[in-house]
Amino acid sequence: MLARKLRDFNIKNPTKKQYTKAQHKKARWCTALERRMWNHELPDAEQYTIHEHREARGCNANEIRWWNYELPKAKQYTKLQHSKAKNCNAREILWWNLLLPDAKQYTKLEHSRAKDCNAHEMRQWNHELPNAEQYTVTEYNKIKGSDIYKCLGGI
């Protein structure tokens, strides 16, 4: 059976015998997302640990950020773990800073060195994080694709 179906059953049938975490873990498609959702939607059930989440298929930078955001009482991932995760790019770094203001924040320099940091990502950084160090026109002009950025309104 699919892991999502087990989780959905437990949510929709709280008075019936519930599936266990062990059964959920053995179910097909028990991914990092499924484990996070189990913890988030079934707070009274046995919870997955951060280690169990990290070892699951699909545990990438996006999943790590959502774990920290949706499960603030659980053990949290660090910025370093997030930065080393698969798919940690400029957009992920921006979202980390936006959704996790109490976590250690990425700097503009770290953002600029991230995979996929282009003019659009710089614009998003400046727009979404007005209190962070901002990109300048000079910095922007060094980036390939700056003409696209100028079309979007510039800095």
68 and 1 in one domain? yes
**How many structural domains is the chain composed of?**
2
Q: Residue 155: what pLDDT?
A: 46
24 and 76 in one domain? yes
| pTM strictly above 0.75 | yes
Report residue 121: phi and psi, to 5°: -65, -35
6 and 82 in one domain? yes
Report residue 34: phi and psi, to 5°: -60, -40
Rounded CA-CA distance 74/149 in Å is 39
Its domain, for residue 73, covers: 1-88
148 and 76 in one domain? no
Residue 87's DSSP bridge partners are none
Residues of the chain with pLDDT under 50: 148-149, 151, 154-155
- With CA atoms as reference, report the closest residue to 70 among 93, 41, 48: 41
Rounded CA-CA distance 75/81 in Å is 13
Q: Is residue 154 situated within a structural domain?
A: yes
Q: Residue 132: what pLDDT?
A: 97
Q: Residue 144: what pLDDT?
A: 60
Q: At what angle do helices 90-99 and 119-128 cross, to 10 degrees?
A: 10
Residue 112's DSSP bridge partners are none
